[in-house]
Every structure is written in C-alpha cells, then in structure tokens.
Structure 1
Amino acid sequence: MDFALILFVLLVTTGAIWLLDRFVLAGKRPAGVAQQWWVEYAKSFFPVILVVFCIRSFLVEPFKIPSGSMIPTLQVGDFILVNKFTYGIRLPIVNRKLVQINDPQRGDVMVFHYPEDPSKDYIKRVVGLPGDTVEYRNKRLRINGVEQAQQADGDYNYVETGLNFVHTEKRVETLGERKHAVLVNPELPTLHLGSVAEFAGRENCSYDDDMVRCKVPEGQYFMLGDNRDNSRDSRYWGFVPDNQIVGKAFFIWMNFSDLKRVGLSIN
C-alpha cells in the first residue's frame, strides 16, 4: 500500500478518535477515571501525524535512489529531498492540482509516478516540454531540430548492482543555459527496439535502430536518465502526464556509503 495513503488513514483514524473524545467521551468520563489507552495513544500521535502529513504532502518529501539510471548526478543510496510545491499545490493521494505555481523546465530533475505502474516513483531529467519535438540519435539529444551541445569530460567508471564494472564516457550536456553531466557507452546501441513498450501517445513517436523521435503532447513531458545507456525512460515507456508529477529533486541529505555527498544540491 502507498505510504501516503497509510499516513492519511492514520491521520483520519487518530483525528476521529481525538474528536470523539473531545466532544463525547470526555463529558461522560467520571472524574478521576483515566481515559482508555487507545484514546490516549490516538491523542498523542494525532498532532505528530498531522505535521508529518502536511510537510510530506505540501512541502518536501524524502526519497531514496534505488538504481543507477541517474549516475553521475545521483548515486545509488542517495537520500534526497523533493520540493512538492515547485510545480503547484496538489491534493495528496489523488494528486489533483489546486494551485498552479511553476511548470517543469528543461533540465529539472523530477520525481513522478511511473506511467507503467503508478504505485512506483521514478526520477529522471526533464528534456522535452509540451509541444517539443525530441530526438535522441547516436547518443546525442536534439530538441526542436537543435542539437544540444555536449562536451567530452573524460572517462567515468562505476560498479553497478551485482558488482559489474561499467566503463563509460562522461560528457557535459547543455540544455538551454543549464549544464549537467551524462554518461554514454559508445559500444552499446543508441536504442534497444525490443524494449520499447506500447504506450499512450506512441503514434507521436518514430523509431529505428539508431534513433527515437517524439512530439511531446500537451500537458506531458519527455524524460531521460543521465546514465543514458542504463536508463529505462521516455524512450521506452512514453510521456509523463502533469497529473503524475510528484515534485522537483533539489538536495541530497544522506548517503551512508559516501558521506561526502551529504549536502550536495541537485542540478
């Protein structure tokens, strides 16, 4: 079960008991008689749960990075904070937007509900905005026909899950005026056609062995992982609708395997 839903159920339950005691049970309780244990626990936990629920739903939410799809920007084991109100204030659980604040921008690192399984949260980088034509060909990104600059930045080696050693090239990619690091492996194909799923809006995309090109529908976004050859992203499962957005990642608050990463901002 989704943790936000569990938290909401606990909030409603403890809140209902608090109200019941305040307006019904307390008036019937004889003087000197202690309140029931379940009432005492509910009244104690209700304000704590209320504060946690409000902070997590409307301000910031913590996440842990489980995979290497965003290396080198994010490492496996990073604990990050996600700003929940950057893109608007939303009702928790149903994720319905109440107040519009900002729209996602190219280059944002964004958490969203995975379109193929909304019970899971994914994190990728926004590269395509509504109306954009995004093309990824021969390890290079083009937006509306303009190739996004890449600059070589040496080799990058890491150990992935299963202790497999991976050798890649590190490049600095520019989206507009924003720069970020990406990894590419020239020995691997640009795209694995056999892994492309059927998804809503696939008619907006064309594929061949070396390229994917998509016209991003209105109200949706095209996402890529920074570890380009080790990321299942919009190339394979399509677009992220606005109502699936969780928030913008902005801060690494812990990594027990590498304490030097604590306090790093996410760009």
Structure 2
Amino acid sequence: MTEWNRKEIKEESPVEQAVSSRIEEIRTEKRGWKKWAAGTGAMACVLFLLSHVFFGLAVVEGSSMVPGYQDQDLTLYGKVRGELKRGDVVLARIQDGRTLIKRVIGLPGEEIYIEKESGGVYIDGDKLEEPYIQGQTSPGIGQENPLTLQEGEYFIMGDNRENSSDSRYYGPVKEGQIRGKVLWSLRKD
C-alpha cells in the first residue's frame, strides 16, 4: 500500500466545518476587495494619464473666437503630437502666462503678410481663404509686415479679428507654447 493511502482521513466536526467555511468566505471577500482596489487604482492611473498626458479640458474666456467658440464654452483638447496644420484651433500659453484659444494661420518657414486696406491675409504671396472669420483683419501693432516665421514658430489669430489679442500683437508662438489642439467643444447654453 502506498503512503498516501495509509493517511488517516479525519472528519471535521460541524463547528470546524463552520469555521473553515467562514475563513474561506473572508479570504474570498479579501480577494474581492483586492481586485476592486486594484481595478480602482488602475482606472485612476488611466484617467490621470489621459487628462495630464494625452488630453485636457479648458474653458473659453472672451469673444476672440466668435462665431465658432463662445465665452464659457468647454473644450476638450489633445496634447500636440506631431505637426500642426493651418486652420487647427489650439490652446497656446503666451508670454504673460495666459492660455488663449486661437487658430493656426502661419506655419514654420512661411511668410505672413496682412494687407492693411482689404484685411487680406497672405501666406507666401497667396491669399488665404478664411470663411470662419468675423470682422476686418488689421495688421496689428509692432509686428513686421510681412513676417517670416522661423523653425518651430506659428502665427495664430482669433476668428473675431476686431476683438482678438493674438500674434499680430505679441508675435509668433513657439511650438513649446502650444498646449494642445482643440478636439471638441460644448456650448454652455
């Protein structure tokens, strides 16, 4: 006879069975709590990464992007990965620390010219079609006209050209100043 056959099988009393059963229940509950805590922690990490690495939320302040974006609109923006395109709406941090929502007009290496009389915006000599603007575009104060953008610089303007503080006044923004590209917006009203 083998050794495992010779082992004596001991029967548990009803009290021992109840204690064993309760111990197993507690172990199962602990595993459940551990799974819940691990799942909650993982979800918190994912939400943190999404909101701090990939995406962000911002509220529009002012009317510089009317008619497309209104004061107090909530925007979801994606952190910039790769190059921006003309027409992209971005959030940019300017020299005084404010973050503004503006549209990318000029790209690195391009020459921007704003005609004073007509308000036309020209990129490398070609007039830019801008169906999204409101108001007359003026050249601005203190900026070269024409202005050639350097590597990593963008010329940004608000769509409400008569009521927008933008690159016409504070100059081009550097790539590092652009926080993200607007992906979606929600109107307050």
- After TM superposition, give the deviation of residue 52 of structure 1 in Å: 3.5
In structure 1, the residue matched to 2:182 is 249
- What are the equivalent positions in structure 2 for 1:173-188 lying under 5 Å apart? 173=130, 180-185=131-136
SS in structure 2 at match of 1:226: coil
Q: Unmatched 5+ residue regions in structure 1?
A: 1-44, 89-101, 150-172, 174-179, 197-204, 207-211, 258-267
SS in structure 1 at match of 2:76: strand
Choose which of 27, 44, 69 in structure 2 pairs with 1:74.
69
- What are the equivalent positions in structure 2 for 1:187-226 lying under 5 Å apart? 190-191=138-139, 193=141, 196=142, 205-206=143-144, 212-226=145-159
CA displacement, residues 203-258 of structure 1 (integer Å, 9 cap, x when unaligned): xx52xxxxx32111111101011101110100000111111121110211x3332x
**1:58 partnered with 2:9:** no
CA displacement, residues 159-188 of structure 1 (integer Å, 9 cap, x when unaligned): xxxxxxxxxxxxxx1xxxxxx410114xxx
Partner Cα distance (2:173, 2:105) in 1 = 11
- Could you tell me the TM-score, scaled by structure 2's length? 0.71
Is residue 93–residue 179 contact of structure 2 (8 Å, CA) maintained in 1? Answer: yes
Q: Unmatched 5+ residue regions in structure 2?
A: 1-39
Choose which of 108, 113, 117 in structure 2 pairs with 1:135.
113
Percentage identity across aligned positions?
30
- Could you tell me the TM-score, scaled by structure 1's length? 0.51
In structure 2, the residue matched to 1:236 is 169
Return the index of the structure with the highest Cα Rg: 2
Partner Cα distance (2:181, 2:96) in 1 = 20
Is residue 139–residue 184 contact of structure 1 (8 Å, CA) maintained in 2? Answer: no
Q: How many residues align?
A: 149
Partner Cα distance (1:256, 1:216) in 2 = 36
Choose which of 78, 81, 101 in structure 2 pairs with 1:123.
101
SS in structure 1 at match of 2:133: strand
CA displacement, residues 67-121 of structure 1 (integer Å, 9 cap, x when unaligned): 100111111121011012xx32xxxxxxxxxxxxx2011111111212x223x21
**Letter of the 1:190 counterpart:** S
Q: Could you say what the CA RMSD is over the residues aligned between the two structures, in angstroms?
A: 2.2
CA displacement, residues 147-168 of structure 1 (integer Å, 9 cap, x when unaligned): 123xxxxxxxxxxxxxxxxxxx
